[in-house]
Amino acid sequence: MLIKRNTGLSILFVTLLTSLATMVQAVETQAISPNDPNLQYVGRFTSDFKSSWTGSTVRCHFDGTFIAAKLLTHNKKIAYAVIVDGKPTKTIMVTPKSSYYVLAENLPAGQHTVELFRRCEAYFGIVRFEGFEVNKTAKLLPVTVAKRKVMVIGDSITCAYGSEATDKSQGNTAENENGYMSYAAITARNVEADIMMVCWSGRGMYRNRGINDKPGVETMPVLFDRIIPQDKNSKWDIDSYKPDVVIINLGTNDLYRGKDQKPALTQENYLGAYRDMVAKLKTTYPGVQVFACIGPMAQKPVSDWLTEYQNEDEAVHAVIFPGYNGVNEDIGGHWHPSNSKMIKMADQLTGEIKKVMKW
């Protein structure tokens, strides 16, 4: 009996050791440097892989079953969407308390594409990407290059401010701002394009929303030139990304006057700044088509001005997003468009782009 019992224990012990060895092997990983040529970056990153614009994306295509990311921030909380094989699977919150984030595990054997898409806007802070980790036997493969390229320049509407808020009284948070569901990001996916998002809440084309803000100071045309918008010295190479289409949605904040504390916006000032921005884009990107959007929040008389503007420049196409028309589910935090409204806006914009571009 003793021999049989010992034999059983020995078999059990060996089985446990084997199981433990299998578990260890399953999580054994290899590091993928952020410099690896197989990785793909979409958006603006510094030479040491820092970024803060909405939509800053890193993609990895690999043959394997596990992937994690190393991300560093000194800021409170920054949200990223994890996209696996084209489908959002979860949201991770990057905080100073951690640097290691499991993105996907126990994937079916074979090839997969995983991407990290920054959901929240620049003022939440800067993140440094320090590479991926994949299972030991995984093999990195080149990422398929998108057919087209889109760029969007906008404000809180483009950033998806409060798009997942449960009530319009709620403000913007890392949890409820989902740039992946911005009308512009959805549109880019609809036309099979990568997107560079250059947007910040409260900013305008000629002037920002703040009562004491001065025209032309830290407006979107100024921030446009930066890799990191918070850093005035981080000069972005405008030639490094050549879009087929540029979407602009600026004007809602230009119109804001508080309680008549600011003078009314004039067509001359607004379109003067707009023409300068478009001229810069057309000079750098010959043949680019510009979709001049406004709405669904405050839009008059900007909507009229943009409609006039498109008649003087054949590269400019006005897109006026209608208001909410009493549909409460379309209203997110602080009266910004919710995800459902974003989808409607994307459908409208997608149709306009396909018509003009013949895509």
Does some domain include residue 17?
Answer: no
Does some domain include residue 19?
Answer: no
Dmax over CA atoms of the chain, in Å, equals 99
Return the ∠ at Cα 131 (arms to 229 and 194), rounded to 5°.
Answer: 55
pLDDT tens-digit profile of 29-69? 999 999 999 999 999 999 999 999 999 999 999 999 999 99
Cβ contact 196:42 at 8 Å: yes
Q: Are residues 91 and 185 in the same domain?
A: no
**CATH number, domain with residue 306:** 3.40.50.1110
Can you tell me the distance from the alpha carbon of 62 to that of 350, in angstroms, rounded to the nearest whole number? 31
Domain that holds residue 56: 30-141
Q: Are residues 109 and 250 in the same domain?
A: no
Give the helix, strand, coil percentages of the chain, each rounded to 5.
30, 25, 45
Q: Average pLDDT of the chain?
A: 93
Look at the chain and report how many structural domains it folds into.
2
Is pLDDT at 196 greater than 50 in this prediction? yes
pLDDT tens-digit profile of 90-145? 999 999 999 999 999 999 999 999 999 999 999 999 999 999 999 999 999 999 99
Can you tell me the distance from the alpha carbon of 29 to that of 193, in angstroms, rounded to the nearest whole number? 32
Cβ contact 38:143 at 8 Å: yes
**CATH number, domain with residue 87:** 2.60.120.260
Mean pLDDT of 283-301: 97
pLDDT tens-digit profile of 244-253? 999 999 999 9
Beta bridge partners of 80: 92, 118
Mean pLDDT of 196-220: 97
CA distances from 24 to 17, 102, 135 (A): 10, 16, 11
Find the distance separating the first CA and the last CA of the chain, reported in whole Å.
79
Q: Are residues 133 and 206 in the same domain?
A: no
Residue ending a domain, choose from 103, 123, 141: 141
Q: Are residues 174 and 133 in the same domain?
A: no
Residue ending a domain, choose from 104, 119, 141: 141
pTM of the full predicted structure?
0.92
Can you tell me the distance from the alpha carbon of 16 to that of 25, in angstroms, rounded to the nearest whole number? 14
Q: Are residues 99 and 210 in the same domain?
A: no
Q: Are residues 130 and 53 in the same domain?
A: yes
* CB-CB neighbours of 84 under 10 Å: 16
Can you tell me the distance from the alpha carbon of 245 to that of 41, in angstroms, rounded to the nearest whole number? 19
Token duo for residue 167: 């009530």
Can you tell me the distance from the alpha carbon of 108 to that of 112, in angstroms, rounded to the nearest whole number? 9
Residue ending a domain, choose from 108, 141, 174: 141
Token duo for residue 268: 């001359």
In the prediction, which pLDDT does 5 show? 35
Q: Are residues 84 and 107 in the same domain?
A: yes
Beta bridge partners of 197: 152
Does some domain include residue 1?
Answer: no
